[in-house]
Structure formats: structure tokens, C-alpha cells
Amino acid sequence: MQTEPSKSTNPIRALCDQFNAIHIDHLERRWISISLLVIGLFVGIITIDAFFHGVNPPSKVETIDSASLHLSEEFAEDNLGVSVNQNGEIIIRMVAGRYSFFPKHIDVPAETQLTFRWVSMDVLHGVHIPMTNMSTMIVPGYVAEVSTQFPSPGEYPLLCNEYCGLGHNHMWSNISVIAKEDWKAPVKSSIKGDQQ
């Protein structure tokens, strides 16, 4: 079987040659180029966020039964909120449900590594805290774990960023971030997983 001799060994060059050989109106050509540039720009933004701002998807896939969170040890009502594990790490457990985040209010220290563990009790929610790397989907049936630090004390809004129903735009709450030296650690966690 005979094959056509290729004009260029560089595959990108060959693709450009093919593209140039097709008749496309110059306006259309311009818009194709603009679309490709926009795609390139978005890929660039994602790359910069991933490598320089530490934005990443949850690292592990951990499942949980959303319908029985109240019966689970970790996300039972009494265990929600801020806790400190045996290694001195601060773990914050929160439940998202239409249309709020529970517990309603928490105090956390500034300039300290915090690990948030989120679950949904009903449908898909999201959580976004502006000016931090906290932005994750909260998918029913999975635990979303994100670590972050708050640079300075203040009130930080907690916003749901996935459409979850008619009350979606009212689904927000806030976190009080207080100076590291003024923050009092809660009693050591009694959750089994925290005591390893």
C-alpha cells in the first residue's frame, strides 16, 4: 500500500499545514484562533492555580453513607465543629445540607494549618471561602477533605457554590478567625479515628 509522503516530520507543523490548506473564511479563521487562545488561557490559569496556589482536588476518595450521618461516629451532631486530634492537628468537621452549613458558627485560629472535612446530608453542595484555597464540591456519599490556613483574623464568608435548590443563594454562613494567641483549643477529640 502506498502512503502519501508527508511534507513535514513535525506533527504540529503538519497539522498547521493541513489547516492552512482548507478553505476557511478569514473571519471564521480569526474566531477559531481566538477560541484556541481562550482555551490556552484557561488551561494556563488552572496550571498556575494547581502548582503555585495549591488548588487541588480532594486527595483521596473516602465514602460515607449520607443518609445516616447522625448515626455515624464522626459526623454525629456532638462531634461536629472544631476538634484537636492526638497529634495536635486541628480537624474541623462540617455538614452541608439544604440550606446551611452545620455547625452554624465556629472559631478557628489564624496562621494555623486547619483540615476541614465536609459531608453532605442531602444533595450536591459546594463550599468556597474567598481569599483562601478552600473551594470544593461536597458530593453526597463522599468526604471532601481540604487543608487551608487563614492569613489574618476576621470574619470569613462560607458560600455554597453549587446550585442545590431554591434556597441555594441563601446558603452561606461565616467563620470567625481569631488571633492565634487568643484561640482556645477545644477539649481533645473523643472520636476513635482522631486518637490513633
Total Cβ atoms within 10 A of residue 85:
16
- Report if residue 125 touches ligand CUA, rule: CB under 6 A: yes
Would you say 129 and 114 are in contact if contact means Cβ atoms under 8 Å apart? no
- Report if residue 95 touches ligand CUA, rule: CB under 6 A: no
- Report if residue 168 touches ligand CUA, rule: CB under 6 A: yes
- Report if residue 51 touches ligand CUA, rule: CB under 6 A: no
Helical segments of the chain, H only: 11-21, 26-52
Residue 35 φ then ψ, to 5°: -60, -45
Would you say 162 and 97 are in contact if contact means Cβ atoms under 8 Å apart? no
- Considering only residues 18 to 47 of the shown chain, the ones binding ligand CUA according to CB under 6 A are none
Minimum separation from the CB atom of position 7 to ligand CUA (A): 54
- Report if residue 164 touches ligand CUA, rule: CB under 6 A: yes
- Closer to ligand CUA by Cβ: residue 75 or 183: 75
Judged by CB under 6 A, the residue of 163, 182, 188, 190 near ligand CUA is: 163
Instruction: For residue 150, count CB atoms less than 10 angstroms from its CB and return exposed for 0-12, middle for 13-18, buried for 19 or more.
Output: buried
- Closer to ligand CUA by Cβ: residue 93 or 125: 125
Q: Which positions lie near ligand CUA, rule CB under 6 A?
A: 125, 160, 162-164, 168, 171
